[in-house]
Amino acid sequence: IRDDENAVDGTGFDRHGWRTLAEQLGLIGIAAPEDWGGLGLGAEYIVAAVEECAVTLYPGPVRASVLTAAALAGISSDAVPVGWQKAITDLLSGTAVVGASTRHDGAGELHYRDGQVTGPVASVTHGAVADLVLCVAQAPEGPAVALVDTTSAQRSPVDTVDLATPLSEIVFTGASAVLLTEPGDERALERHRTLEALVLAAELVGGAQGCLARMVDYAKVREQFGALIGTYQAIQHKCSQTAIANASARGLVAAAAAAFDAGDDRVAEQFTLLARAEAGDAATSASSGFIQVSGGIGFTWEHDAHLYFRRARATAALGGTPAQLRDRAVTSGCLDLLVHGAA
């Protein structure tokens, strides 16, 4: 599922390859409910698929697609206008591309009324080529998750650290839209945001695993001072520390996904905050270690190490720093998890 030729161009990925992932491997269908022809397998399967894609630094619209597919659980296919039924079917098959905003600080500026959305959406993944955008819009009755058609949208590229995930700012003016949650349904909106953060954590875990695998492979073949560098204790410690940190992050992601699927929203949110923090630290440390273990070649743009480094830094910064996320977890009562675990 790696896509070297298209990873850092304007499009960001090969659309034919993306359709293959969607149709033949059912990547998007994992998250889509059965009512829409999907499998509806839940967060535990979603994070596993996302993590595997991140191991290879796959540049396609995985995050936005699985989040949109999962959000379809809030709306029946019979309740959607015919035109939107086709658009969503195209999305699930990989024919249509969906982007998602990586920022929510301007969500109040995006307004929904009578099937149309007006306003700006910042930092949309694959926004330059997206046919649809997943976002949160303010309806008269309250905020809701919306899917918006980009046909008439104005797009402007945004500079980003992560070269493999192109971003754009999109401005809608009366764009056709469909709501995937009921306006003002706070629980549905919070579950959407929790799943979004959980998917980000899975991406970080996958990226760290990709770095670790490459570090170990290189240490097995690279010789320095007459010996394989993998025999040196400093290299061994770097690899083992990366493995331990990522195992901790993966465990938290799994716990968060299990709580999410069980409908325990409070515990899912707490575990997700901890998972995001742990995965952010693990990925940034792993990507730095990948560069160091690779030696001189690791500092060049011809090597993949800087792409992992950029992805880790950019993703880890979304939604708050690890320290801020841990503070939020404590404020939300995550220490109760220790009490329940001990019991």
Residues facing residue 100 across a β-bridge:
134
Task: Tell whether 130 and 239 lie within a shared domain.
Answer: no
Among candidate residues 184, 211, 242, the one where a domain is terminated: 184
342 — pLDDT class (breaks 50, 70, 90): very low
Distance CA 121, CA 135 (A): 8
Neighbours of 302 (CB within 10 A): 7
Task: Tell whether 231 and 112 lie within a shared domain.
Answer: no
Distance CA 160, CA 330 (A): 31
Interval 237-247 mean pLDDT: 97
CATH code, 126: 2.40.110.10
Task: Tell whether 121 and 238 lie within a shared domain.
Answer: no
Burial of 298 (0-12, 13-18, 19+ CB in 10 A): buried
Among candidate residues 184, 213, 243, the one where a domain is terminated: 184
Task: Tell whether 177 and 296 lie within a shared domain.
Answer: no
Distance CA 122, CA 192 (A): 18
pLDDT, tens digit, 9 for 90 and up, residues 58-86: 999 999 999 999 999 989 888 888 889 99
- 304: containing domain: 187-342
pTM: predicted TM-score of the whole model, two decimal places: 0.93
Task: Tell whether 165 and 21 lie within a shared domain.
Answer: yes
31 — pLDDT class (breaks 50, 70, 90): very high
Task: Tell whether 241 and 338 lie within a shared domain.
Answer: yes
Among candidate residues 137, 157, 184, the one where a domain is terminated: 184
Tell me, yes or no, whether 39 lies in a domain.
yes
pLDDT, tens digit, 9 for 90 and up, residues 208-240: 999 999 999 999 999 889 899 899 999 999 999
Task: Give how many domains the chain has, as a whole number.
Answer: 2
Stated length of the chain: 343
Residues facing residue 135 across a β-bridge:
146
> Which residue bears the tokens 């990989």?
94
